[in-house]
Amino acid sequence: MKRSAIHFLFLITLLLGVFHACQPENVLSKEALYKASSQKAIDFENAAQLDSAYYHYTQAKINSPDRTGDLFAYTLLKIAMLQHNKGDFSGSEETITEALANYKGSTYLPYLYNLLASSYYRLNNPTEALSYYQKAYETSTVEMERLIYQNNIGLIHLETKHYAQSIALLAPLLKEELLIANKPEYARVQDNLGYAQYKLNLPDAFENLSNAWRLRDSLQDNFGLTASCMHLSEYYQLIQPETAKRYADLAYQASVATQSPDDQLEALKWLTTHSQPQQAKLYYDRYIQLNDSLTKVRQLAKNQFAKIKYDSKKATQEVIKYKNQNLLLLVIIAFILLVGVLLYFLYQSITKRKLQRSAYETETRISKRIHDELANDVFHAMTFTQTTDLQNSHHKESLLDALETIYKRTRDISKENSNIRTDEHFEADLLQLLNSFSDPQLNVLVKTKNDIVWSKLLPEKKIAVFRVLQELLINTKKHSQASIVVIDFQNQSKSLFIHCFDNGLGYDLTIPKKSGLQHAENRILAIQGTLTFDSQPEKGFRAKLIIPK
């Protein structure tokens, strides 16, 4: 069992006293509240009512006027000390960290470092402990304190089993006059030195240990006595087990007096292993009881701390989760957009291909007609000129007739494939086209409510309507023997509906469609429209045309 020193000089209390004297009386001010809380805390601390002292120090902390100043640092230091003494080393560490983060002064730095080092030491982190003891040693300007920090550094070496290093630091301290004058500290150093020497089996070990014990006994320093008795008990462990047990008992008594659970546990553990079975059981039961309650208390503190940690972690996770959700949403939106764009282009390309195919079909159709209808006739006219005497006026007339037929056919082909004005002339041109089919045999009637806004229809759709109606009327004129054909234009919300019907012979739909009608159908499909035929022999012919707007 080892003991480190947490040493504060009266300087602190003195400073506080000066502060008290300087403050004007103002009960409502923060300073006044701070002053009142601090005073109460000090009173309770002096009366060894540590819980109450802790409460009032925390009140003082809340009312502290300046978080960067000495008073705030001092208050936190006191709180940390109380936590440390109660065994809440994590809490102590946290409090000091808060103080160090805010503190702009230098007066309390060594004390803060020292207490932090001690907390790390108790939290089994000797590396950090050593580093903060060094800082405390370096920042301190008070000789006595520097000696104490040197002892503490030596103690860490002792703890980390660097006994020689520990002795090298501790042995010179005993010659310091300042330390000789300060008996409790002198005893502490002597005890630690003796323990280090014992570990290395050095001859001076017993003398130092027992001198330290005697000195502490005379001072009634229970914290110190606990450590000394433990060390002596360990010393006697092998050579005089009975003496070892007696020291262990003494250590336990001293530890009970200190109210320090860790020290009590250490002592009880020792007693359990070095007592008679019956006695040992008693010690063991007490050890278990104490350990349980201690564990519970510590666990509670730890849980509290863990909960805070967990909550913040959870919050962070939720932020990440939220971010991830946002990201996911973004990715989904981007994906949908991408798919949409792709579909759009696919649709465009399909439409384009359909239109191209329709154009290609028109070309091949024209080519076929030129071949079938013109080339043959021209060839016939050529042969006729070569083989006939054209001086004969009768033959000349025949040739002219043949040529006129060729000319008219050319004109027909041209007419059926000539350009269509899709501008504001379209409606008039379309009506004139329909009327142009009227002759003494066939009457073309247009049924309309005059509510079709042609300008809103795309040019390719207008062309399709024009060509398909032309095709249908050519078909009617050639094959139906109808006397009346009605073209009914109906404006619907999303489409243009055209119904074309006659009173002719009708057409057997089971017979493959004539190329003209087939061609009309392809044109309508190319603009995503529909063209359906309905006919029975003697019942006329009906074509229903739907053009999407």
Partner 1 sequence: MFQKVLIAEDLDSINLAIDYVVRELAIAEIHHVKYCDDAIPKIKRALADGKPFDLLISDLSFKEDGRKVTLASGEELITAVKNIQPELPVLVYSIEDRNYRIKSLFEVQHINGFVLKGRDSILQLKKAIQAIFESDQPYLAPELKHILVDKTTATIEPIDIQIIKHLSEGVQQEEMEQVFKQKGIAPNSKSTIEKRIGKLKLLFRANNTVHLVAMAKDLGLI
Residues within the interface to partner 1 (CB under 8 A): 400, 404, 407, 411, 414-415, 418, 425, 428-429, 431-436, 438, 443-450, 483-484, 486, 501-503, 540, 542
Query: Whose Cβ is closer to partner 1: residue 276's or residue 419's?
Result: 419
Query: Whose Cβ is closer to partner 1: residue 364's or residue 436's?
Result: 436
Contacts 24+ apart (CB under 8 A), 453-459: 453/491, 454/426, 454/427, 455/424, 456/549, 457/496, 457/547, 457/549, 458/527, 459/422
User: Smallest distance, Å, CB 445 to partner 1?
Assistant: 5
User: Smallest distance, Å, CB 340 to partner 1?
Assistant: 41
Helix 11-22 to helix 70-86 angle (10° resolution) is: 140
520 to 6, 326, 467, 529: CA distances (angstroms): 104, 52, 7, 11
C-alpha 295: how far from its chain's center? 37
User: Smallest distance, Å, CB 370 to partner 1?
Assistant: 16
Per-residue three-class SS string for 41-101 = HHHHHHCCCHHHHHHHHHHHHHHCCCCCCHHHHHHHHHHHHHHHHHCCHHHHHHHHHHHHH
User: Smallest distance, Å, CB 391 to partner 1?
Assistant: 20
351 to 12, 414, 447, 459, 529: CA distances (angstroms): 90, 27, 31, 14, 12
Question: How far is the C-alpha of 260 from the C-alpha of 318, rounded, in Å?
Answer: 42
Question: How far is the C-alpha of 488 from the C-alpha of 490, rounded, in Å?
Answer: 6
Query: Whose Cβ is closer to partner 1: residue 302's or residue 499's?
Result: 499
| Residue owning tokens 């262990």 | 248
Query: Whose Cβ is closer to partner 1: residue 369's or residue 544's?
Result: 544
Question: How far is the C-alpha of 302 from the C-alpha of 321, rounded, in Å?
Answer: 27
Query: Whose Cβ is closer to partner 1: residue 138's or residue 401's?
Result: 401
Query: Whose Cβ is closer to partner 1: residue 402's or residue 525's?
Result: 402
Nearest Cα to Cα of residue 199 among 241, 240, 164, 153: 164
User: Smallest distance, Å, CB 438 to partner 1?
Assistant: 6
| Triad 297, 301, 304: Cα angle to 5° | 135
Query: Whose Cβ is closer to partner 1: residue 434's or residue 472's?
Result: 434
Query: Whose Cβ is closer to partner 1: residue 100's or residue 399's?
Result: 399
Query: Whose Cβ is closer to partner 1: residue 20's or residue 421's?
Result: 421
User: Smallest distance, Å, CB 429 to partner 1?
Assistant: 5
User: Smallest distance, Å, CB 472 to partner 1?
Assistant: 15
Write the DSSP symbol of residue 503.
S
Cβ atoms 199, 167 nearer than 8 A:
no
User: Smallest distance, Å, CB 415 to partner 1?
Assistant: 6
User: Smallest distance, Å, CB 350 to partner 1?
Assistant: 32
The neighbouring-strand residues paired with 443 are: 484
